[in-house]
Amino acid sequence: MGGFRTGFEGSQDYDLLLRCTARVPADRVRHIPHVLYHWRTARGSAATGAHAKPYAQAAGEKALRDRLGSSATVSAGPCPGTYRVRHTLPADPPLVTIIIATRDRVDLLERCIGTLLEPTRYAPFEVLVVDNESSDPSTLAYLARQEGEGRIRVVRWNGAFNFSAINNFAVSQARGSVLALLNNDTAVPTPDWLEELVSHALRDGVGAVGAKLLYPDGKVQHAGIVTGLYGLAGHVFRGLDGSARGPHCRAQLVRTVTAITAACLVVRRDLWERVGGLDADNLPVAFNDVDFCLRLREAGLRNIFTPYAHLLHHEYATRGADDTAEKRHRFERETAYMLRRWQGKLDDPYYNPNLSLRSDTAQLAWPPRAPRPWRIKA
């Protein structure tokens, strides 16, 4: 066994492990990436459940507090053995520019702006609306009224819809050192959404930060993006109830993800500029957020999903689905570009290889995707 100790030598379990590994050629044993860990359930053991040793949870919280010091507060998480860490904002928080691209649909825009202006607890922030050729009189009147009252700023973008170009232009007009991209078909139900997102975005080594997005019926629309899902990228946990824990409570925990959606994306401006913003030439509509997050990872940063900021999202309410020949051809071009650009780099390191790439809800893959250790070549 290569000289390491398992902690249960001499037991029947150890004998079983030796018999199993004996079937593996000796020159392959050193390449096995996993070690069988096994214990028997005894009365009072944590194997029966986390409630058996509640002091372990308290000890874990103390360890986190000792490590983080005054930079964060720590409390129990949503599931046994998990923790909620709230990172402290600086005494003088940075200005955040909330960028909302829109065209007509004043009903969506009014709800979006109305739900974030008054309740949002974070300060300071500005709302920058990018109007992409609205022609509806009620939309134009609403924008003029809100701008006249000093509640928002409005800039105009003329030309065909290009989400990447619109947001790149908006960033050039933004005053904040932190950027928050927000779809006009979202609504903010809680006052602490922005401070939660910004508190992560200001951490060293963090790139983009995304929120949990829920459909109007309370089902999950976004809880992180997995690359490789459905061939390129997809939203994990889509369709789960918003209160569902998911496997190992992952739908309810802050975690590192490969990508998050630009429907609600917070990032520091200097990082946006470092990687060049969104790709307006090759990805005008689809996958620009995934590409942006992959470039952040390429720059050595990690992207974060937090369920503690959650918004409602009426997906496709403005632009519509890709259901015309022109939209399908555009989508196919963007897909082909992504597969060329990120060839060999779409294997998501944060998604277990035993899970299916044809399931939104992290089902086990069949046949398994994980390679058999004894078939791995030296």
β-sheet bridge partners, residue 302: 206
Report the alpha-carbon distance of residue 66 to residue 42 in Å, rounded: 31
Better-scored residue on pLDDT, 207 or 34: 207
Instruction: Quote the percentage of the chain above a pLDDT of 90.
Output: 75
Structure tokens at 162: 């290009």
pLDDT of residue 324: 81
Is the pLDDT at 71 greater than 80? The verdict is yes
Are residues 99 and 182 in contact, defined by beta-carbon separation less than 8 angstroms? yes
> Nearest to residue 103, comparing CAs of 159, 151, 65?
159
Q: Does position 375 have pLDDT exceeding 80, yes or no?
A: no
The partner residues of 342 in beta bridges, in order of sequence, read: none
At residue 339, the pLDDT reads 97
pLDDT value at 373 more than 80: no
> What share of the chain in percent tops pLDDT 70?
82
Q: What number is the average pLDDT over the span 97-105?
A: 97
pLDDT at 54: 77
User: Looking at residues 234-247, what average pLDDT do you find?
Assistant: 95
Residue that wins the pLDDT comparison between 53 and 237: 237
pLDDT digits (tens, 9 = 90+) for 266-305: 999 999 999 999 999 999 999 999 999 999 999 999 999 9
Quote the CA–CA distance of 176 and 204 in Å, as a whole number.
Answer: 18
257 vs 1, 59, 236, 350, 370, CA distance in Å?
35, 27, 10, 6, 20
Confidence of residue 9 (pLDDT cuts 50, 70, 90): very low
What integer best gives the mean pLDDT of the chain? 88
- CA dist., res. 98 & res. 33, Å (int): 45
The two tokens of residue 172 are 């050039």
Nearest to 104 by CA among 188, 186, 185, 169: 185
Model pLDDT, residue 17 = 44
CA–CA dist 308, 199 (Å, integer): 12
Q: Are 322 and 328 in contact (CB under 8 A)?
A: yes
Spell out the domains of the chain, with CATH numbers in brackets. Answer: 96-341 (3.90.550.10)
- Asked if 224 contacts 211 with a C-beta cutoff of 8 angstroms, the reply is no
The mean-pLDDT minimum among 3-7, 91-95, 103-107, 166-170 falls in: 3-7
Q: Per-residue pLDDT for 21 more than 50?
A: no
Between 245 and 27, name the one with better pLDDT.
245
pLDDT score recorded for residue 368: 82
pLDDT confidence band for 377 (50 / 70 / 90): low
Rounded to a whole number of angstroms, the distance between the first and last alpha carbons of the chain is 18
Q: Which of 57-71, 169-183, 269-283 has the lowest mean pLDDT?
A: 57-71
Q: pLDDT grade, residue 367 (50/70/90)?
A: confident
Q: Which residues neighbour 25 within 8 Å (Cβ) at sequence distance 6 or greater?
A: 374
Q: Using alpha carbons, select from 316, 309, 359, 315 the residue that is nearest to residue 215.
A: 315
Mean pLDDT of 82-93: 96
Average pLDDT over residues 295-319: 90
Residue 30: predicted pLDDT: 47
Read off the pLDDT of each residue in 195-223 and give the average, rounded to a whole number. 97
Comparing 27 with 96, which gets the higher pLDDT? 96
Q: Is the pLDDT of residue 55 over 90?
A: no
The C-alpha torsion from 67 through 72 and 77 to 81, rounded to 10°, is: 0
The per-residue pLDDT for 328 is: 92
Query: Which residue's entry shows tokens 């194997």?
Result: 47
pLDDT of residue 374: 65
Q: Which of 7-21, 191-205, 341-355 is the least confident region?
A: 7-21
pLDDT value at residue 141: 97
The model's confidence at residue 5, banded by pLDDT at 50, 70 and 90, is very low
Q: Lowest-confidence range among 8-12, 172-176, 202-206?
A: 8-12
pLDDT at 19 over 90: no
Among 187, 184, 307, 314, which residue's Cα sits nearest to residue 237? 307
pTM of the model: 0.86
Mean pLDDT of 73-89: 94
